[in-house]
Chain A
Amino acid sequence: MAALLAMEPRDYSPAMVSPTQQATTDEATWIARAQRSDAQAFESLYRAHVDRVYGLCLRMTGNVSEAEDCTQEAFIQVWNKLAKFRGDSSFATWLHRIAVNAVLGRMRKARREQDRIQLATEASISPASIGDTGNLRDLSDAVDRLPQGARHVFVLYAVYGYSHEEAGNMLGIATGTSKAQLHRARRLLAQQLKQEGFEA
């Protein structure tokens, strides 16, 4: 995970870039305080993680206002469930799990609706590419256009570096399904990018 973070060309987060010893201790303190309802400590946690959560939501939903809502919901859920966080997984992972759950919940809801005009119009702009430049923008756009299942797995596995088992856990699908979805994503992306004259 640390290696992936170090490879990022751009870091939009005002907070730490990579987890240092000090930062980890700080985080543990904030968590402990937030668990005792210290909102300021929770804000520190928020500031430290919001960009990654928002990035995750944005790439998974492909829609700015959905991603904003999903981010807020995720943090509110975290606040409510903080007492249940035991520190056996990393806080970031736990947080992302909740965020993914929030995204899935929204998508399930959206599927059932009859009038999805709002979502349809908002999705017409590709917002995730905001974070990327050049060739990466093409890739980012292409990821946004993947079908839902493939996109979710691709974002978690290929962009955020989770394993198939972890991604499967978060998405509520089997590890094998995650692998199949990744395979599909890669095939579709390769096709899409080739069509756009992407140089190998």
Chain B
Amino acid sequence: MNDKHEDKLMSDARRLATRISPKRDLWPDIATAIAQPGRSRWTSMLAQAAAVILLVGASSGVTYLAVYDDQPPAEFMPPNLTFEQASFGGQYQLGPDFQDARSNLASKLDRELTRLSPEARAGVEENLQLIRNAINDINGALEQEPDNALLQELLLKTYHQELRVMRDVGGLTRSVMSRNDI
């Protein structure tokens, strides 16, 4: 290696611009994010995940989540995980769209669960509790490591699992029961 060559390399490197102005003003988004008291909008790290689609079923008005691993999504809405400042540390919650979908599923599930046997119902509730414990564990870890991409991905997946269980149990029960109605 030519030493002179390398010295030039390093001195040129030092002359590379270290300050580069972004093409657009990034402040407004930041201002919005920090403006809400105790809330911070986690932008595109997860938005770019492109792993979750939120669709609204036309006929039944049911909102459901599907996960596509390798198929390009037909319609894409970024999954919107918001960072809530709780009293002791932070918590990641699903954003408002997801909260709506979740409440919707939760109330449908409640109705369907009443039609199951007590054992079946207890089993479902136990598993949902398992999932919620997992969500708490991950949030606990995220408190220390808010930037940890693995934790964020697992959290989103676990939220999805919860919604899937609510959807599947509600849907399964409903569709199985409905065959008896006709």
Which A residues are CB-close (under 8 A) to B72? 115
Number of residues in B with C-beta < 8 Å to the partner? 52
Complex-state Cα separation, A130 to B4, whole angstroms = 27
In the complex, the answer to whether B26 meets A71 with C-beta atoms within 8 Å is yes
Which B residues are CB-close (under 8 A) to A58? 20
Which A residues are CB-close (under 8 A) to B48? 69, 109-110, 118
Who on chain A is nearest to B44 by CB?
A: A69
CB-defined interface of B3-33 with A at 8 Å, one 1/0 digit per residue?
Answer: 0111011101111111111111011011101
User: Given A73-B43, A160-B18, A190-B6 in contact, is the A39-B50 Cβ separation under 8 Å?
Assistant: no
Which B residues are CB-close (under 8 A) to A105? 45, 147-149
Question: Is A88 on the interface with B (CB-CB < 8 A)?
Answer: no
Complex-state Cα separation, A8 to B13, whole angstroms = 11
CB-defined interface of B114-134 with A at 8 Å, one 1/0 digit per residue?
Answer: 000000000000000000000
User: Given A54-B21, A113-B50 in contact, is the A143-B16 Cβ separation under 8 Å?
Assistant: yes
Who on chain B is nearest to A158 by CB?
A: B13
Which B residues are CB-close (under 8 A) to A30? none
Which A residues are CB-close (under 8 A) to B43? 69, 72-73, 76
Question: Is B176 on the interface with A (CB-CB < 8 A)?
Answer: no
Question: Is A64 on the interface with B (CB-CB < 8 A)?
Answer: yes
Complex-state Cα separation, A101 to B146, whole angstroms = 10
In the complex, the answer to whether B153 meets A46 with C-beta atoms within 8 Å is no
- Select one of A56, A75, A130, A143 contacting B18, CB under 8 A: A56
- Select one of B10, B34, B90, B153 contacting A158, CB under 8 A: B10
In the complex, the answer to whether B14 meets A161 with C-beta atoms within 8 Å is yes
In angstroms, how far is the closest chain A Cβ from the Cβ of B71?
9
In angstroms, how far is the closest chain A Cβ from the Cβ of B92?
13
In angstroms, how far is the closest chain B Cβ from the Cβ of A107?
8
CB-defined interface of B135-152 with A at 8 Å, one 1/0 digit per residue?
Answer: 000000000001111101
In the complex, the answer to whether A51 meets B30 with C-beta atoms within 8 Å is no
- Chain A: residues with CB nearer than 8 A to chain B? 4-5, 7-13, 39, 42-43, 46-47, 50-52, 54-56, 58-59, 64, 67-69, 71-73, 75-77, 79-80, 101-102, 104-106, 108-110, 112-115, 118, 128, 130-132, 135-136, 139-140, 143, 154, 158-161, 186-187, 189-190, 193-194, 200
Could you pull out 25 A-B pairs where Cβ atoms are within 8 angstroms? A5-B18, A8-B19, A9-B17, A50-B21, A55-B19, A68-B26, A71-B22, A72-B30, A76-B40, A76-B41, A77-B146, A79-B30, A80-B85, A105-B147, A105-B149, A109-B45, A109-B149, A113-B49, A115-B70, A128-B20, A143-B16, A158-B14, A160-B18, A193-B9, A200-B2
4 additional A-B residue pairs with CB within 8 Å, beyond A108-B150, A109-B152, A158-B14: A9-B15, A47-B27, A55-B18, A76-B33
